[in-house]
Amino acid sequence: MNEKLDTKMEKITSLAKRRGFVFPGSDIYGGLKGTWDFGPLGVALNNRIKSEWWKMFVDGREDMYGLDSSILMNEKVWEASGHTGAGFADPLVEDAKTGERFRADHLLKDNGIEAEGLSASEMDGLIADNELKSPAGNQLSKVKDFNLMFETQIGAEGKYKSYLRPETAQGIFVNFKNVVDTLSPKMPFGIAQIGKAFRNEIAPREWLFRVREFEQMEIEYFVREEQWEEEFETLRLDIQKWHEHIGLAPENIREYEVPENDLAHYSKRTIDFEYNYPGKGFDELAGFAYRTDHDLKNHEEASGVKMRYVPAEGSPFIPHVLEPSFGVGRALTAVLCEAYTEDEMNGEVRTYLKLPKHLAPYRVAVSPLLKNKPQLVEKARAVFLQLKKEFGNVAWDDNGNVGKRYRRQDEIGTPACVVIDFETLGEEDASLKDTVTVRDRDTGEQSRVAIAELASYLK
């Protein structure tokens, strides 16, 4: 996703801005690095991704429970989880002259030197051995660990410290006992939540890929220790199904086994699900980690509250945890990359988003052939309201001529356009009365469909 070199990614991000999917954060003040705002179509696509995820992983199963925990939590949560320490820090290096900051591992990688899993002093050694300079050609400072959590003060006196959560996961762990005590789930079971997370990334980059404020969709799946491998395999296949469901081609997904020396501080095994981003190649889309009993054990020790599951038979135990963790922004990026298509239609190059029906911001657009003919407009409004009742996400589009409307809807991925014309009024052929033109986004083909059958035709 090198913005300068990759024309496909440039086209996608420019379409996303032009068509109201994604705007730079605080745009009128020159932006705020690492923040992006979702416009009307972006929020629609995001909401669809999240609701499809919830349907598949929570409502569609018997073993999952939902949760929505606070972003601000007691600072002890982050001490117990290990996030306040070096385990949740990135290697920071500065341009000694300009003070510009970089991630040392990324700087090394950009210079063709692998730095995965290395300590700050090992990276220092590599920078010295290879006489690396900053991109501006200046000396580099020593590498130091930089904690990624945003710190904040609580209350008017500012006596208490807290953090904006860097993952939604900890909200799940601290509510483990509440869920078990109130719903008595059978093992194995999962708790899922969708919500914002914040990380003070040293160098936010590549559009939505590495940002400072983002959303996660996470599951903590509680198992007996001896079950973890079997359940890991089952969930791995469920994650594959999810990626298929949001329209990502299997050849654009790769599973990367994270080497032991690069595992997060809590993990014994992690698979990164990677997507083949245009111009960037394979990089992380979602993570899937075996977190052992690290979190529940640490919270039990730190809080003094038992974090045990009490089985019908046998002794209480601390469950082990499998964690599928998805970034909404990265999912949206992958979905847009996969959907972005250029072809030729009627001798012209056209751009369209081949979004799956269940993700498209608008299921269908409705328009009168001519907007200055009251009979057409009245009939079209009636069809629009009927479809709106059925689907909700229906667009009314009467700007420009029909060809322009088709192009506009193609560009935002609307799967079908319905046009009310004179035939609908039965003025030319009585047998066509109360039928409309339905134009398919992908093929451009037009069909004649009775209004009475429109909703089921479009489903």
Q: Where do contacts with ligand GAP occur on this chain (CB under 6 A)?
A: 167, 169, 199, 201, 210-211, 214, 216, 218, 284, 286-287, 323, 325-327, 329-330
CB of 102 to ligand GAP, least distance (A): 15
Of 210 and 243, the one with the shorter C-beta distance to ligand GAP is 210
Annotate 65-87 with DSSP letters as a single string.
EE----SB--HHHHHHHTTTSGG
- Cα 369 to the chain's mean position, in Å? 38
Least separation in angstroms between residue 324's CB and ligand GAP is: 9
Please state the φ and ψ torsions of residue 23, each to the nearest 5 degrees: -115, 150
Identity of the residue, 79 or 378, whose beta carbon is nearer to ligand GAP in the bound complex = 79
Q: Which is nearer to ligand GAP, 336 or 454 (CB)?
A: 336
The C-alpha atoms of residue 408 and residue 263 are separated, in whole angstroms, by 45
Contact, 115 vs 108, CB < 8 A? yes
For 80, the token pair is 């117990």
| Nearest CB to ligand GAP, comparing residues 48 and 199 | 199
How many Å apart are CA 360 and CA 438, to the nearest integer? 17
Cβ(39)–Cβ(20) under 8 Å?
yes
Min. distance of Cβ 85 from ligand GAP in angstroms?
A: 15
Shorter beta-carbon distance to ligand GAP: residue 289 or 416: 289
- Cite the beta strand spans of 78-230 per DSSP E: 89-94, 101-103, 144-147, 150-154, 160-164, 189-198, 213-223
Number of Cβ within a 10 Å radius of residue 359:
24
SS3 304: coil
Q: Which is nearer to ligand GAP, 119 or 200 (CB)?
A: 200
